[in-house]
Structure 1
């Protein structure tokens, strides 16, 4: 046993040395995305400073809302980069330690437009200033406080990080980095003013490398090595900025272009002042001043205690040297013990030689077994393996590679590399690239065809095998020649197909196969650029299906999807071959008509689309007639950018719908005025709800035989303070479109309750109270809850509540509203069909609706004294009402002749100016007494 002790000690020593060479993974949380601001870290990674220190470092980008301090404290990163707010976390008890200041002067500056008149902090009073809230805004707040400006004297705007907010006048000034914001403004050709806090005595530190206090205490050697490697990276980056910029663009995929990175590098060097201050230097007095600024702004405690916050590399070096001294003493003691053991082992020298020979035999057997196992693993591997010699002749190919090429092993054995490339596009090799080195080449992706004829993608990596790789260390030696090359081929067809599928999902609509909104935008951008270059016009069609919701509601979304696919097919078959068709939302399509010289081409294409849809679409045996409204905007006359051109085409489409649907409308700039007018009226309507500009008026419904009051129709009026009286025919459609019809209906319900309670208070009971409603209100489930509340209010039981819907609305939407209508009738409401005779409701549909009243069209009533056709229409309506057990109410009665005719035909009820115009409630109460009111029951 004693003779094995030296080998055991040697084994553990070698194992320790091998483990010491393993790279320790570390994560660094950056403050923002990859840019020259973090150049030292990239240099430390790419130039091997971290690896030399024993670390494998991962650099994590940040996004909006990511706080590097919180990330490090949570353990998701080992090190981080923060600003001077790091001190505020320390003062509030967070265990953080600043390791090195990387940027000696904060890059934060205040920027305003040149013509803004803002040249100093005092000029910011009363201005809109974009700067971060909380500790991130301390730099700006400190500047304002030092110059006597209260924080309340400026309007703080949250950070959007968008310089266009400054250019477009959204803000008067904004905070940004001196390393990139001036560059952005110069690129856009915008002149600007710069306020630097340092000029006013506010000189915070910029980027600071930090870690947790526990890591400093428990892993001091790691912290020391990591800090030194980081600073070495920064020294290299400052001396070789162009090389580091190359890393950023190729290795780290920075979103900034070359000029922006060069500008940032120049600005960073000024802020870091490497020729004046050592990299990483931290001044305790300056940190003390920063802490006092936080305290003055009320952000931190007044007592500034820096204990444990500032890292002292000198103290760490002393501790490390002591540790190394102890370690070497341990090693020395081990070596002494080893020597003693070796002296003892000399007595068994002969036995050791025998054992060594036996061990060699065992190792040889082990190698043979390992080779057989390796051969079996390669033979059965799913990855293709091809080995060629230095003359490019095939030496070996495993079954997986044979399958990838579609060849068998004997065929491959007789080939060279150029022959194999006819089946699989393997990369070229150059032995000079690998002489004296066994580094792997960068994997490449190639296309091949398998034995079954299917096209496959293969990822290929080439490894050289050197003739004598185990040479001893010499001052100079000839490069080792390459004897063989090993091609490792991995089938990545599933990954490629997945990637293609993802691109298809992103760029194409899955229902219709048309291009998606994303690809449409890219196509339109290219078309506009081409038009500007070739001095030609490009037209954009915005196509919307008319009343498509009815198909979805009546027949279901499956049928609706089939209709959409049919419409997409017809549009695609109608347009020119070089036109682009896209589906950008549910029932909205776009067509890009490129390279046109006048409007006639695009008009012809649009009319062809309309004509293609005149033929009904058959889905599951049901014919669906579909029409579309098309809006057209043309560049350059209407707009030169994607967003504006799209908006103008949308406006034109909406105008086509307003003009009756199933038509084409070219954009004109006057349409924008109409859109603005519509938006202003919508805003006025919102204000009218809160300012009580709406009011209710009431028109009596009377018995034609006695003139007694039997009911009131509730009518809505809007008295605008500037526009005057606005007709319901104008604002009700807008309210339905904007969604304001629902809160407007709730307001009306509450007003109606108050009115019924007022009527009851004067002893009038039994009246019918009729409310006009829109289909959108009927479809709203919240309406049922409001109705239930109305019926539960005191004083409502004495009234007969009616809901009026026009015949046209019932024809278009009645089937969809049927469920809610029946639930309303169950709650006690009665349905009135208004404007009967104008909407074309079928007798069958009328019999299916829970209607108890119909109102004869005003046009028929006003012409009944002299127009035979109107008289016949009234007689037919009354006959139909009697057959269905429905009461009829004549609307628009203005003469006694009309009353006589209606009474002769059996019409019992009427309303109109002959009896009373629509009036306010108090005026009507003065005219009708309780004795002059009839309780109108279903038996009447």
Structure 2
């Protein structure tokens, strides 16, 4: 009986082993295999080293123990990517690994969470900057707010949050240039030395089981529920199966594939983390079927066979010398073998080049920071109507927040996209038909997100879209635009922005022949307020004045700070006498409004002088906003000259008069 130790309780994560046992793949190899569920007391590495298990499935701790000198052999990397992630609540405001500084983060230990710790290291975040808490393995600690980030498996815990309808975000090491193998089938050096054939049989049957489980997920789920009595629901197991498939890539990469350079990179990472002192070359750690350990009796037998062979060859060589025809035949055979060997070498070189090209593509696809989507365009009546997602990378899920999009139409994945972004279908359709790439920026209203998208033709009515989330950049750009238009102290339009708005309104007034009035306002003795009470009090006076003006004006009226304590108000469709009434009402309101000072001092009161001017029906050729501002400024000067706290109106075709 062969014991195979699993990492944890029975679940779809170990589907290939159940399939190999249930479908008889182990028995076909002449093996009886017992699958042992894991728990805190039965961990894979310890079970194999103690001899209680012959084989086991583990994570990066297999490599860690090997680097410490433990006699372990890696047979196959089932998961090409680690499922280890950090989960955060969507409402926490945490969007990247850098936002975790000073936050409470649950982790298991330095060996099992090596990929998460490497993510911090790559981003220049010291572990001392993070409040690390030993994992409780309870997702409720995250949902209750007890912690800020929870160490999880992408195949498991996200389902609980989806089930409870709790919005969440994923911080994955793969998005930060960290990509470890996971769920590694391994054994001991003793097992490989004593039973090399059995090792090969276990590996062959296990990989066959994994292929069957990937091709028949529903049947495997039935097996887990009926025979292994897994406590998870069918919906949970279906979610786990879909996520496991993303980590294995069964249609793109041979199941169990291991790259020595990637193992060496993982070993170098352990050195950077200070877990081991050296990452010497991993000779003998990675199993190769070609490098079988031979039984002890083979070497003497091989020596005898070689001696016999030498004797036979000597006799044959002697006979060949006696027969020239045989010599010529031998020469011809050698020439033929040389040609065949050259052809074999060329074929091997081509195969090696293809493998390297595929590895470069997969590395680029899996590690690129931009979102990648490979899609097929759908048509109706010859026009682009929709498109289907054929392949996406992890960055696409992270940047868009979309999940499980493969094989689905974009109209299913993003409801309302046809109404909000009809240009998508025209642009992508044009790329597919013309073959020329396109780059554009677009706001996706259903996702409330800005994207920069580059689209390329992929042939056969397909295209590739590479996208970048530029929402933050757009928000900063909008903020800068607002800063360029708004006076930061009062929140009113600055002089430049007010002038632009007023020019547009004046043009409308002249086009439609409606009246328009302009008020120029200046706070009386404002310098004295600053000198007596200080500039902070002066700032509160300006803010109080602005709030009073806004409360007194209509939504269509324009107000701006022209400079210092000087303001301008434009009143569209308002005759000058109506404007005088507005100015007088505003003057009285300001004179009666107190500004409360600190330290229980008596409230401060201030006044304003206002100059009023306006236009009736005139042509655009004889007036512009600068001329109107100058006329209002002259009226303001007259109001201040008459003693301040006054309204002076310059009425066209009427006599100027003082109003108070």
User: Which of the five TM-score ranges fits, normalised by the shorter chain?
Assistant: 0.3 to 0.5
- Per the normalisation by structure 1, the TM-score is 0.31
Higher relative contact order structure (alpha carbons within 8 Å, sequence separation ≥ 6):
2
- Kindly name which structure, 1 or 2, has the bigger radius of gyration based on alpha carbons: 1
- Per the normalisation by structure 2, the TM-score is 0.44
